[in-house]
Amino acid sequence: MKDPRQALIAKLHIARQQLAMADADYCSLLARIVPGCSSSTQLDQPQLVQVLAEMQRLGFVTRPGLRHGKRPRPTAGRMALIGKIEALLAEARRPWPYADAMARRMFQIDKVDWLDAQQLHKLVAALMIDARRAGRKTE
């Protein structure tokens, strides 16, 4: 697990990228907040928080991480199958990475996006069997 200081340094670099700051601008920002400093590795945790607060004042917006996974973008022919998978996952209160893990286990394919129509049918069948076993509705 990352220590909090390393996580803050990573967040600073994300903020710098989002704000499209040049090296000189970034170094001058660090020097303005912490005199004599030219690198984020020279900062302690409270100083990193100060720099991050200044970057937020300049327009940096933190984005939450993906908690529920990313919904696949199917072609028109597979849209109905993906919709059924999405409905079964929602009924079971499971995220998209659960379906990706099932695809990995069943077909040795990492993403639901990459399954063909026959494999999607089998995945839907597996999710429906799981729903019936748990007493959830499948229609």
Confidence of residue 2 (pLDDT cuts 50, 70, 90): low
* 62, part of any domain: no
CA dihedral 38, 44, 46, 50 (to 10 degrees): 10
> What range does the domain containing 8 cover?
4-57
Residue 69 backbone zone (phi > 0: left; psi -120 to 50: alpha; other: beta): left
Q: What is the mean pLDDT of residues 89-109?
A: 92
* 42, part of any domain: yes
Q: What is the mean pLDDT of residues 95-113?
A: 92
106-136 pLDDT, tens digit per residue, is: 999 998 888 888 999 999 999 999 999 988 8
* 108, part of any domain: yes
The structure's pTM equals: 0.50
**Total count of domains within the chain:** 2
The candidate with the shortest Cα–Cα distance to 131, out of 96, 85, 100, is: 85
The reply to whether 91 and 120 lie within a common domain is yes
Higher pLDDT, 118 or 41: 118
